[in-house]
Amino acid sequence: MKKGKIMKKIMRSAAGLLTAMVVSVCGLMGYYSVKLPDSYYVKKGESLKLETKFEIDAVSDSALASFAGNTYPATETAKLRLFGFLPVKDVEINTVETPVLIPGGEAFGIKLLMDGVMVVGMGEIKTERGMECPAEECGIKEGDVILSIDGKEISSNNDIQEIVSESKGRPLEVVYTHDGNEKSSELKPVFSIADSGYKAGIWVRDSTAGIGTITFYDPSTNRFGGLGHPVCDSDTGEIVPISGGETAEVNITDVVKGYSGKPGELHGSFKSEKSTGKIYTNNKYGVFGEMFSGKGSKAAVPMGMKQEIKTGAATIYTTIDENGPREFQISIEKIDYKNSGTKNMTIKVTDPELLQKTGGIVQGMSGSPIMQDGKIIGAVTHVLVSDPQKGYGIFCENMYGPGMANG
């Protein structure tokens, strides 16, 4: 009788332990299913290897065919398996030639010409009927981009003023984009008592300029990528749509050191009006174009894929004075492998000299390439306002892949 009770107790304990193990394993499977990305880039001739605490294998649906025929499909599906046999999720694998890039770190001038003009503000106009704002009444909002008025393409504020003035109050068709969607509406200019002329009640911007940092050059194409985030309008916060742009050499003249609650900033000036390259694209991953000169003297290195990146020591190339790019120590504190945006890594500046001179990450350092194990793996994108020693970085594959592809 006593032995029976003991056996029942042992069986209950074993059942409880087994249940706990099953729950833990299921929890791990669910965790990795959510945490791990749905797609990867893998270098030709290599297999997908993940830096995870528990072993996860990637078994390609076409693994046997690829091995037997020595072929490399551009895109295939693989199954991620925990401990080699427990299914986690299906992922997309894109097989690519190993990109070999020249790390940047050079500060560069950015001049962007907008595709159309961006609405940055609106104001009421005093008329005989009272205060009116034609632009607001026709549905236009701040951040919208005006493409044409009365069938004429718009490239500057002067274009708008000329068309509106000559309308004599006649209704005008305005074509514009709102949240990326093209729309049209009827704009009815009004006569301003104060200015003795017809007005639309709108303020626009047709160009922008600034300073950033080059991330990489592709020696096979002369293309470059920089910033690691888009150039946005300072008033609206919207990504600036561009028709083109240029790069220029700059002199870094001063550094405003960053403190908690007050980010620092690189101060500089354009060396001349001479263009060093063309900018073709301004998208969420940065600015991209072709560089004619100023490609630096560093040797080309392989690009590291996101699954090769690990927490711990790394370096950045950045420019903080007239001496050009230098290498500084940082630490990668956290990696968000699934994030497809510009905040894939949390980084911290650990280099004593950089901390002494800048306080950490400052505005203008965006695009500074991040290096680890002899590979270019990403770029600095943002500073934490509450702690300028810390900030975020983007995976280099996001810039080189979708960033360049959209350029």
**Catalytic pick among 144, 155, 206, 366:** 366
Q: Would residue 267 show up in a list of annotated catalytic residues for this protein?
A: no
Q: Which helix (H) or strand (E) holds 106?
A: none
- The DSSP letter of residue 307 is G
Long-range (24+ apart) CB contacts under 8 A made by 26-31 are 28/54, 28/82, 29/82, 29/86, 29/87, 29/88
Q: How far is CA 324 from CA 105, 249, 266, 277, 372, in A?
A: 8, 11, 13, 18, 21
- Output the six-digit token pair for 214: 């080059």
Could you give the CA distance from residue 189 to residue 171 in angstroms, rounded to a whole number?
7
Q: How far is CA 218 from CA 167, 225, 248, in A?
A: 50, 9, 18
Task: Return the bridge partners of 76, or none.
Answer: 93
Q: Would residue 57 show up in a list of annotated catalytic residues for this protein?
A: no
**Catalytic pick among 229, 233, 368, 382:** 229
Q: Would residue 229 show up in a list of annotated catalytic residues for this protein?
A: yes
**Catalytic pick among 206, 218, 233, 351:** 351
- Output the six-digit token pair for 52: 């995870």
Could you list the active site residues? 229, 351, 366
